[in-house]
Structure 1
């Protein structure tokens, strides 16, 4: 059993390899080291071979035999018995399990088809599975009744899954699965529970990418679970003994859409647990394969000793001066490789296991997990292995293994910045820069699966964040769990790790974009990447429309892809050196910045809205569904149209700020001083403001941001920081950048990947994946602010109280608030690192500018505007507010709109009541944007300075006061009318607008029909709200226990009633003639309403109820 628990995750490097005495199976060789005490000087070839092959001193005697490939292989074959397992011992170790024969071959553990209840589909072999039914369960075809066994489950989704063990007698139904019977045991990390007939709290919450180890110890009658190699404790003890052949089966239950990858031992475990055996026996030749690759590693190290000129290696050479191997290198390396490939020819399963196990570890050891990487040695090794038959299959397995490793690799603080998926991404990038390797990946059926893996990023849970951010601090904190400086250092280290991973993901996508597949007729650069994007979006949109296809991609993949495309479009991307460069509406080489920061003439191809692919057809449009819009406006002639405009054309010439003007927009006018100051204030801003919001970590030099002009996606790869100092000419092979030219025409081909296409996809990715992340981030920011207030208030009460029992209860409550606050600070810090980096904010700002202008231009043509996808509007509005709420802000609120986003005000004002927009939700979104902005003085000034707002908004607000939109319109009107009436403050209202008050009065006076209709709806709504408020407070009085929902409902209705009353007050004060000289009904209804309100707040029982409601509202405010 000890033999199978061994795991060689990596090779010993450098001096450690040369001095190691460890036999791969733990058998010590006393004569392993060569003694040089009496023999200093050049050693013979025989001594060098002894070192390379880990042989005793002078075990190779000088002879006249030439050292050729066969001689090397004979040495290696003689070592084979050292690494062979004793069949009798191995049989005894595996005596407590059995495998039912299956079509997959002997001794292969798979899902037993006969055991499946529900619908489980294998997405990718061997055992990446997904539930297509509401609840699906299944068992493996193997059971255990004695010994210690385990299997691993890698989570592709993180919903309800029950993983564990069950006997064959445990029933599976559409409601009951693993853990729901007597001899059935399961763990569910979604609900953080263990299951054996009934749930009990256990373990930790899990996340996508977690590797769950399911272990059963039938010697001690216990079942335990592990999360990423860390024990969650004993879940069940007293597990019932079973007879031979009637043991416990690995079993799983999945909710609909849940997906996981089962590994019973067909691949090496990611986190093997000491003493536990895999259910499926690994290849017996794995130790010998590891030995062969260790020999090859030592061969390369000896070669490096000969080449090195460092003082360290010069000193080391004097201690161990091996004979030169230039003439023998080929024979030795080929002999080792021939033995290695002879091993993996046993079966495809053996080749896969070796690739995932020893070979990937060997490549990582040679290449290096950190910079500087050894590119030359890795290239030499790849060239060597590619000479052998079977190498293509081997490297296909390597690419998949690296991709899967990216999914599960967590960021570790002590390993930053080269942590998480960075080592695997860096190795994969270098391998894929070779033309032959990229072709190999492209031809593989796992192309999409592998690329998604490279774009995955494992998110931390609560416990992970505790390890990543052990030191926590916030302004005013008197806790002993951290300091400002230590938290700043931690965030800097984690930010560097995230940047490294993002840089590698950008390089992977860059390589795919540049790749020209070897097909006829020739394709253009970007065609492969476009196909990948289309397939990925199709999967995601299928799930979005409640018809989930197989293998729905995780949120992290979409976020990473969005980040990659944002970087390409904002920071720039080199395509010029490639045949058939990526085309935009305009190409100008030799300038600075990316597509989003080009000044001057802009254009957009309308055909992006009219594509015939499924993604485009099912996308809701401004004018409704595609079929509905087609009935109203035919697309004849639109397929080839482009819209053109000049940047800033919506603004007045005297206030216009563009990338071409002397004063740049916010995204391109940030000074070095601003960036440095922001960096210093990262932690301080995180909790200093009342919002408790997150702050960005700038990592991009500000002078780059200032260099904006007309530029295509070009030149930037040479400019941006590289993950290494190695130049492409030193790589020793033909780079993808020097592939053969493909004939191209000057005319834009439909196969050319356009920057506008990337922009279109980026907006959809933002809508699907990034916007929810921002909402989650702002939730934690708000909760953090509330927790700080609660903690401060509790501390104050503890100081003021003298009763011991009260102080005790307050301290208990304080501990709860403190834990919640610490969790929130960590969550906010993580979102600050992953979402609010400076270059991302710059790109988001430029995206808002670009899309707002596009929408305004398109809105001038009905036939085109109606086809615009709804997510264009949703994404630009959400992106705008995400930037506005970032803390510290991207820029101050005084210039946030003024220097680049003035057209945003124009857009929301023109379209919140646009009859062409069919979706009421989109109109509400625009109204809510206005409602939020007008409560801040700087943004209100922007509305007052906007011609469209002055001309359109007052009348449009009165028209929009209907049964659906009256609440946001009420919120807007009451903010504009502040300061007018008997309830106004003596001091000037910060968010009131004298200008809009005048405009509203004029709109009411000049359009009596509109005002009469508005006033009627206002009376009706106010009467309803006051009646509803009266009923609510009576229900509260009659209830024995008042719930939070009741309190909140009462508070909301009261606030709405007050707001409506303020608007009515504004109307009576500013337009008295409507009541004095207008219809008698207006004055009568006003009088009745005033009497009704007074009766409910100053007289009798109703007055007491009102006081009660106000007190509850005050309590609610304190609680929030």
Structure 2
């Protein structure tokens, strides 16, 4: 030991002991006699017993001297004690990264072993080098990105582009890219993951460099490296931005030591520490037996003597060896070799052994010694958990958690660890993580793979016959259940650990703060740090990677704490009725002030809603107004204070869980769920390859290429299937789904009750609303078919409640936060897409339905596009040819590799599912428009204004594209310009569909005299649209023919079918006088060209075109019942005619002849030259009766 310990007893070793006690004498013999006799001769011949002073003397002779670190240098002569004199090595005894060698911006820990990159490519070397012999060091990966680890000489010069392995005398391994680097690179090794331990070995005798991953030899990476004078190699690492690692040069025990290779830090002598460890094991046994009766001594006459001691006497026995406890924690290496095995041995015998050891140490050691020991012990345990050896059963992780549970079972230890140790650098968060199995272990656990996504697409069997498919499926599910059972053991231990960390019965004076108070405070800090800089690498490693596991463990803790007392009325809050009362949101102390509320900023709400706050508080039983000068829990209603305080903490924990889900967890779940979509793509490609193999049985060359492609797809599918098994067992299991379902119930109940309070609903934090939307989205879309939302009892009732909340609040004036308004209306837009959620909207109360329709039919405001889209979705399936699920012009096209694959915010073309409730039987929309004529006029006015604006902007952008195309030099079009152009086209089509819906459901709002000039304006807009779209040499036809990536949605069918739907509703439906009025307005409109309506079914027939069609009739397309022919026009769009369509649809023959007659009577020669080759009859989405309706427009 470095410093002489101060004696703890009233006598010194040379003084006489206190009066003899039989129990103490017996215990001294039990603890020290056998151990000391074998090493040191006891003073005095014939002596049979040891006394405590003699034990002090003997231990001093045995253990006194220099520290372990000093003993390493014995035999070093006159060398500096700070240097390691071993042959082949140069540098200080304590090896760490050399800050002066750093290139770039690095965050380096205090012990200079952990580095995190903060710039492009950073390099740092150690402060020790080697020139002969065999040497090893390890790096534990904190992330899995681009890093190059290895060796470099002092002559190597690095910069922000070149790191280890990019210079002639540096050698590196990069597991992210699976490469080895020495100026050039070659394929080498395996792909590494976060948590892997990479061994870097340098053999200067053979001149070779090799690497190990988790103890597995990756092969000799380099040979014949330069050696001799001037060549000494430093450990060196290079990291790209955001990557991190922890180096171990030998100060800690290697996770995977390699035979014949030495660590850069000399292995210390642990014999003295091991001697102390053996004594501690016996001392703890004596301490635990102190209150028990001992029968180990016999009297002179042979009778047994019953001995009974006390804990105080046991401490007397333990005192001599406790003075030497610092020997066990002097270095991490010694701690791992001596103290950790002792704790593991105690763990096997019972948790009370470790608690007893801690009681002895806290009683006999100085507090600063105990604090240092706990900090070192916690650091070693955390590292052991993070970088444990790969093990399918997680034995090391479970052992570490059990030790921490025992440590936190001791009150003083728990207080210190919670306040000073566990929440530093995200240590406690690390214990909540379950490291995923790597590829090798997944192959062992899941030998048979089955594709869960096959349940969704309903394709053919992938494993032969249905019987074989069933066998493989059963084996796959058995493997998945095994993973679940293995991980469940770790999760149960994590819940137990979290329960210890959130104990609420250990208040510490003078503030009375408990462990739960400390946990809530620290966890809130963690969330605040993440929200301030969620992209920082340190925060990503401490929270983002463990957020999902943290969430489920905390939900388990909350459920264990129930029931609690509702501080508002004294009732019990149970699991099925849990909510956060609105009363708690009325104080800024509950939710931090920087968090926005539904109604805006807290300060503004508090100043403008004072009377409403008093009214809400007055409606509650036994409530006092919260006082800003008192802690929040002291201003609660007058119920039993202890129960109220406990309730406050549980509700605060719920609040933190909701914030955690909104801020971190949902994003992580979304990333994990993306694997399923990726797997669907690979499965589709794999099946397509199998079909191609069936078709190319004769072509050997093609079959060889296809077989290679098939094997690649199959290998990727097998890898993803095993990853899916892991996710389904750990992240998307039914148990995890029930946790999220319960959390959604709590959040939704909180919002429903708060909404009843009137204006004070604005005090609810905005993340509660966001959490409800994201939780329902996750439950509906992220979980696989094996954990379907519909399997949960009572799910439909919750779905209807959620639908009611969306319908009632997406336009609620109490929601002032503009971002939150967008969240709600986008959620409602998503909600009307799937048929089951649309049906839940129809099951709402009549008041909610009417309120939703009233909000949708208001004059369009800020979020008008989403409101318009919702109306379109309710109408889809009832409009003219309005049934497509993909853009009709793209139905038979293959996706280009250059096309963006980013999913849109909302499905652009969901399958048709018209709402019978809103437009057919009850006709809520029509009823509202008829009963509120003023609102109807304002709504139609806004629709027509937006339609005019959207199409004008669209045409303006088309003209800019046309101008750029006609220029002789090459012009590049901004992608943002294309996106805006595409959006304006979509808005034009959707607004036309809303007009079509109005013309069908409530034509009076367009045709009544009170509607003013709506029909003239509408006719004018429709005429302009037809003039731009229906002529073959305009800008619209040019852009369509160019097939520009980003404008694939722009085509004839969608916009012409929408215009046709409006005209059919106005001219072919309704009273005769209305039709005559519309027709009169059409012919009074100067811009209206009758030939544009004729173009709906293609250009006029001619003898040449007829013969061309007849020659190509054998190539008719059965999908849409039309045949193709080459057009004489300069347009690249294929010409399609109704006359050939009539071959498959006899009823349309008359229509074709009628159209030809009209064309001969009215068409101008110029129109025939410029006519578009588009025809509605070319699309299978158009029904026969709809073609007949278009034909009737010609004759009208």
Answer whether TM exceeds 0.5 for this pair: yes
| Contact 1:139–1:251 (CA under 8 A) maintained in structure 2 | yes
Whole-Å separation in 1 of the counterparts to 2:86 and 2:616: 70
- The answer on 1:542 being equivalent to 2:532 is yes
Alignment match, 2:516: 526
Shift of 1:1017: 1.8
Q: Secondary structure of the residue that 1:265 maps to in structure 2?
A: coil
Q: Residue 141 of structure 1 is aligned with which of 118, 127, 134?
A: 127
Identify the range of structure 1 (227-236 vs 1021-1030) with the bigger mean alpha-carbon deviation.
1021-1030
Query: 1:286 corresponds to which residue?
Result: 270
Q: Is the 8 A contact 1:225 1:232 kept in 2?
A: yes
- Give the corresponding residue for 2:916: 994
State how far apart, in whole Å, the 1-side matches of 2:883 and 2:121 are. Answer: 60
Matched, 1:401 2:380: yes
Question: How far apart, CA to CA, are the structure 2 residues paired with 1:1056 and 1:794?
Answer: 39
Partner of 1:981: 879
Structure 1 counterpart of 2:828, from 930, 933, 949? 930
Secondary structure class of the residue paired with 2:881: coil
Query: Separation in 1 of the partners of 2:723 and 2:73?
Result: 52
Does the 8 Å CA contact 1:296/1:336 hold for their aligned counterparts? no
Residues paired across the two proteins, number: 917
CA shift, 1:1091, in A, is: 5.2
After superposition, what is the alpha-carbon deviation per residue over 1:738-788, rounded to whole angstroms, capped at 9, x for unaligned?
xxxxxx982788898522211110011112321122202321122223333
1:910 aligned to which of 772, 794, 808: 808
Q: Which secondary structure does the structure 2 equivalent of 1:616 belong to?
A: coil
Once the two structures are superposed, residues 214-266 of structure 1 have per-residue CA deviations (whole angstroms, 9 ceiling, x without a partner) of 3333333333443333344444444333636x622223344555443332222
Query: What is the rounded CA distance, in whole Å, between the counterparts of 1:201 and 1:832 in structure 2?
Result: 33
Aligned residue number for residue 457 of structure 1: 434
Distance across 1 between alignment mates of 2:1021 and 2:182: 66
- CA distance, structure 2, for counterparts of residue 178 and residue 419 of structure 1: 35
> Distance between the aligned counterparts of 2:615 and 2:502, measured in 1?
25
Question: Are 1:957 and 2:856 matched, yes or no?
Answer: yes
> Which residue in 1 is equivalent to 2:715?
819
Residue among 178, 203, 214 paired with 2:200? 214
Residue 422 in structure 1 maps to residue 398 in structure 2: yes
- The CA distance in 2 between the partners of 1:96 and 1:564, in whole Å, is 51
Rounded Cα–Cα distance in structure 1 between residues aligned with 2:713 and 2:831: 32
Asked if residue 831 in structure 1 is aligned to residue 727 in structure 2, the reply is: yes
Structure-2 change in CA distance of 1:749 and 1:335 (3 Å): closer
Larger displacement relative to structure 2 (287-296 or 773-782): 287-296
Deviation for aligned residue 1:470: 3.5
Q: Evaluate the alpha carbon distance shift between residue 1075 and residue 534 of structure 1 in structure 2; reply closer, same or farther with a 3 A threshold.
A: closer
Q: Is the partner of 1:273 in helix, strand or coil?
A: coil
* SS in structure 1 at match of 2:551: helix
Q: Would the alpha carbon gap of residues 149 and 867 (structure 1) be closer, same or farther in structure 2, given more than 3 Å must change? A: farther
Is the contact made by 1:121 and 1:132 (CA closer than 8 Å) also made in structure 2? yes
Provide closer, same or farther for how the CA distance between residues 863 and 226 of structure 1 changes in structure 2, counting only shifts above 3 A. Answer: farther
| Equivalent residue, structure 2, for 1:1066 | 997
What is the CA–CA distance in structure 2 between the aligned matches of 1:1053 and 1:168, rounded to whole Å?
Answer: 62
Q: Tell me the SS of whatever aligns to 2:526.
A: helix
Specify the SS of the correspondent of 1:215: strand
Counterpart for residue 246 of structure 2: 261
CA distance in 1, matches of 2:142, 2:566: 36
Rounded to whole Å, the distance in 1 between the matches of 2:334 and 2:612 is 58
**Following TM superposition, by how much is the alpha carbon of 1:182 offset from its aligned partner in structure 2, in angstroms?**
3.5
Structure 2 contact 588–602 (Cα < 8 Å) conserved: no
Query: RMSD of the TM alignment (CA)?
Result: 5.5
In the TM superposition, what is the alpha-carbon distance from 1:520 to its structure 2 partner?
Answer: 1.7
CA distance in 2 between counterparts of 1:931 and 1:298 reads: 70
TM-score, scaled to structure 1: 0.69
Over residues 1058-1113 of structure 1, what are the superposed CA-to-partner deviations in whole Å (9 max), with x where a residue is unaligned?
65654454344445566667331211322342454444555645561799999xx9
- In the TM superposition, residue 625 of structure 1 has moved relative to its aligned partner by 6.0
Task: List gaps (5 residues or longer) in structure 2.
Answer: 1-27, 78-82, 289-304, 455-460, 622-638, 886-909, 1009-1013, 1032-1036, 1038-1051, 1053-1097, 1100-1128, 1137-1172, 1180-1196
**C-alpha separation in 1, matches of 2:210 and 2:614:** 61
| Pair 1:1062–1:72, CA change in 2 (3 A) | same
Q: Secondary structure at the match of 2:797?
A: coil
- Who wins on radius of gyration, i.e. which is larger? 2
CA 1:289–1:477 in 2, change beyond 3 Å: closer, same or farther? farther
> Any residues of structure 2 matched to 1:435-834 within 5 Å, and which?
435-442=411-418, 444-446=420-422, 448-449=424-425, 450-463=427-440, 465-474=442-451, 476-478=461-463, 483-514=472-503, 516=506, 518-524=508-514, 526-544=516-534, 553-569=542-558, 571-573=559-561, 595-598=574-577, 603-607=581-585, 610-611=588-589, 616-623=592-599, 629=604, 633=608, 746=641, 753-802=648-697, 803-834=699-730
Q: CA deviation at 1:396?
A: 4.4
SS at structure 1 position matched to 2:786 = coil
TM-score, normalised via structure 2 length: 0.65
Instruction: Note closer, same or farther for the CA distance 1:525–1:425 as it changes in structure 2 (3 Å cut).
Output: closer
Change (3 A) 1:829 1:109: same
Is the 1:178–1:186 Cα contact (8 Å) retained in structure 2? yes
Q: How far has the Cα of 1:963 moved from its partner?
A: 7.5
Aligned equivalents of 1:227, 1:584: Cα separation in 2? 56
In 1, Cα distance between the equivalents of 2:664 and 2:985?
36
Distance (Å, rounded) in 2 between the aligned partners of 1:412 and 1:638: 57
Which structure 1 residue ranges, 5 or more long, are not aligned?
Answer: 1-44, 101-106, 305-323, 576-580, 647-743, 1115-1120
User: Which secondary structure does the structure 1 equivalent of 2:226 belong to?
Assistant: coil
3-state SS in 2 of match to 1:526: helix
Cα distance per residue 1:339-368 (max 9 Å; x no partner): 986776469643x43223332123224424
Aligned to 2:226: 240
Q: 1:197 to 1:844 in 2, by over 3 A?
A: same
Q: Which of 997-1006 and 1018-1027 deviates more? A: 1018-1027
CA drift at 1:993: 1.0
- Structure 1's 755 and 411: CA in aligned 2 closer, same or farther, altered over 3 A? farther
Residues 999 and 443 of structure 1: CA distance in aligned 2, closer, same or farther (over 3 Å): closer
Given that 1:286 and 1:354 are in contact with CA atoms closer than 8 Å, whether structure 2 keeps it comes out as yes
Aligned to 1:271: 256
SS in 1 for 2:479: helix
Secondary structure of 1:150's aligned partner: strand
Where do 1:159-178 residues align within 5 Å? Answer: 159-178=145-164
Q: Is the 8 A contact 1:123 1:550 kept in 2?
A: no
The answer on 1:108 being equivalent to 2:94 is yes
Which of 1133, 1143, 1151 in structure 2 is aligned with 1:1104?
A: 1133
Distance 1:779 1:1079, change over 3 A: same
Alignment-derived partner of residue 251 in structure 1: 236
Distance 1:442 1:884, change over 3 A: closer
Q: Does 1:182 align with 2:168?
A: yes
* Cα offset, 1:498, TM superposition: 1.9
Give CA-to-partner distance per residue, 1:591-619, whole Å, 9 cap, x none: xxx854237x972443476239xx93443
Superimposed CA distance per residue, residues 847-882 of structure 1 (whole angstroms, 9 cap, x where no aligned partner): 222222333444566764444433222222111121
Q: Is the 8 A contact 2:329 2:339 kept in 1?
A: no
Q: Give the secondary structure class of the aligned counterpart of 2:212.
A: strand
Instruction: Tell me whether 1:96 sits opposite 2:21 in the alignment.
Output: no
2:364 is the alignment partner of 1:364: no
Secondary structure of the 1:754 match is helix
Mapped to 2, the partners of 1:148 and 1:477 lie a distance apart of 52
1:1084 is aligned to 2:1020: yes
Aligned-partner Cα distance in 2 for 1:145–1:643: 82
8 Å CA contact 2:733, 2:787 repeated in 1: no
SS at match of 1:182: coil
